[in-house]
Structure 1
Amino acid sequence: MTQAIPPDVVALEDYQRLAAAILPVPARAYVDGAGADGLTAQANLAAWRGIRLQSRLLCDMRGAHTGLRLFGLDLPHPFLLAPVAFHGLAHAEGEHATALGAAATGSLMVVSTQSGLPLEEIAARAQGPLWFQLYMQPDRADTLALVRRAEAAGCRALVVTVDAPVNGIRNTEARAGFALPEGLRAVNLDGMRPPQIRSEPGRAATFLGLLDQAPRWEDIVWLKAQTRLPLLLKGIMSAHDAGRAVAAGVDGVIVSNHGGRALDTLPATAEALPVVARQVAGRIPVLCDGGIRRGTDALKALAMGAAAVLVGRPQLHALAVGGAAGVAHMLTILRAELEVAMALTGRRDLAGIDETVLWPSP
Structure 2
Amino acid sequence: MFGHRPAVPTNFTALERAARKRMSKQAWAYVAGGAGEGTGMDRNRAALDRWAIVPRMLRDTSLRDLTTELFGRRLPAPVLVAPVGAAGLVRPLADVEIGAAAATVGVPYIFSNQGSAPMEDVAAEMDRVAQTSGADAAPRWFQLYWSTNEAVVESFVHRAETMGADALVVTLDTTQLGWRPQDLNLGSLPFTRAVGIAQYTSDSAFMASVRDRVAAAKAAGQRPDVEVTLGAIKTLFSMARHVPGSFRRNLTSPIPRASVETFLDTYSRPSLCWDDIAGLRERTRLPIILKGILHPDDARRAVDMGIDGILVSNHGGRQVDSVIGAADALVDVAAAVDGRARVILDSGIRSGADVFKALALGADAVAVGRPHVYGLAIAGRLGVQQVLENLIAEFDITMGLAGVASLAELDSDTLRRMS
Alpha carbons 1:12, 1:330 under 8 Å: kept? no
Q: Which residue of 1 aligns with 2:180?
A: 170
Distance 1:166 1:5 in 2: 43
CA distance in 2, matches of 1:210, 1:149: 17
Equivalent residues in 2 for 1:99-114 (5 A)? 99-114=99-114
Q: Deviations over 1:157-215 (max 9, x none)?
A: 10000111111101111112223285634121235369xxxxxxxxxxxxx99987631
Offset at 1:249?
A: 1.2
In 2: Cα distance, 1:5 partner to 1:160 partner:
39
Instruction: Determine helix, strand or coil for the equivalent of 2:175.
Output: coil
CA contact (8 A) 2:55 2:403 kept: yes
CA distance in 2, matches of 1:331, 1:31: 18
Judged with a 3 Å threshold, the aligned counterparts in structure 2 of structure 1 residues 62 and 44 are, in CA distance, closer, same or farther, namely same
Q: Which residue of 2 aligns with 1:78?
A: 78
Partner of 2:96: 96
What code does the residue aligned with 1:96 have? V
2:170 and 2:104 map into 1 onto residues whose CA distance is: 26
Normalising to structure 2: TM-score of the pair?
0.79
Is 2:204 aligned against 1:147?
A: no
Which whole-Å CA distance do the structure 2 matches of 1:209 and 1:320 have between them?
30
Aligned residue among 294, 309, 327 for 1:237: 294
- State the match for 2:222 in structure 1: none
Instruction: Check if 1:189 corresponds to 2:246.
Output: no
Q: Tell me, what secondary structure is at the counterpart of 1:52?
A: strand
**SS of the residue aligned with 1:359?**
strand
User: 1:204 corresponds to which residue?
Assistant: none
What amino acid is aligned across from residue 82 of structure 2 in structure 1?
A
1:95-123: per-residue Cα shift (whole Å, max 9, x none)? 11111111111111000111011111111
Choose from 385, 393, 401 the match for 1:344.
401
1:305 pairs with 2:362: yes
Give the whole-Å Cα distance in 1 for the aligned partners of 2:34 and 2:336.
28
1:327 and 1:188 map into 2 onto residues whose CA distance is 22
Corresponding residue for residue 315 of structure 2: 258
CA distance in 2: counterparts of 1:27 and 1:86, whole angstroms: 9
Partner of 1:11: 11
- For the pair 1:159 / 2:169, whether they are aligned, the reply is yes
Q: Deviations over 1:329-351 (max 9, x none)?
A: 00111111111111121111111
Dislocated runs of 4+, deviation >4 Å: 4-8, 208-213
Quote the Cα distance in structure 1 between the aligned partners of 2:120 and 2:268.
29
Query: Contact conserved, 1:5 with 1:321, CA < 8 A, in 2?
Result: no
Q: Distance in 2 between matches of 1:102 and 1:212?
A: 30
Q: What amino acid does structure 2 have at the position aligned with 1:277?
A: A
Q: Which amino acid aligns with 2:297?
A: H
Code of the aligned partner of 1:225: E
Unaligned runs of 5+ in 1: 195-207
Deviations 1:267-306 (A, max 9, x none): 1011100110011111111111111001111111100100
Pair 1:92–1:74, CA change in 2 (3 A): same
* Mapped partners of 1:306, 1:327: distance in 2: 23
User: Secondary structure at 1:64's aligned position in 2?
Assistant: coil
Q: 1:209/1:121 Cα in 2 relative to 1: closer, same or farther (>3 Å)?
A: closer
Alignment of 1:34-53 (within 5 A): 34-53=34-53
Gaps of 5+ in 2: 128-137, 211-264
Shift of 1:15: 2.0
Paired with 2:196 and 2:60, the residues of 1 have a C-alpha distance of 52
Q: Does the C-alpha gap of structure 1 residues 35 and 8 become closer, same or farther in structure 2, counting only changes over 3 Å?
A: closer
Q: Is the 8 A contact 1:277 1:305 kept in 2?
A: yes
- 1:214-225 matches, within 5 Å, as 214-225=271-282
State the distance in 2 between where 1:209 and 1:28 align: 26
Separation of aligned partners in 1, 2:120 and 2:46 = 38
CA RMSD of aligned residues (A): 2.2
Task: Say which SS state the counterpart of residue 277 (structure 2) adopts.
Answer: helix
Q: What is the distance in 2 between the residues matched to 1:100 and 1:256?
A: 25
- Paired residue type of 2:71: F
Q: Identical aligned pairs, as a percentage?
A: 37
Q: 2-side partners of 1:182 and 1:209: how far apart? A: 16
Query: Could you tell me how far 1:154 is from its partner in structure 2?
Result: 0.8
> In the aligned structure 1, how far is the partner of 2:121 from the partner of 2:5?
27
Partner Cα separation in structure 1 for residue 114 and residue 320 of structure 2: 20
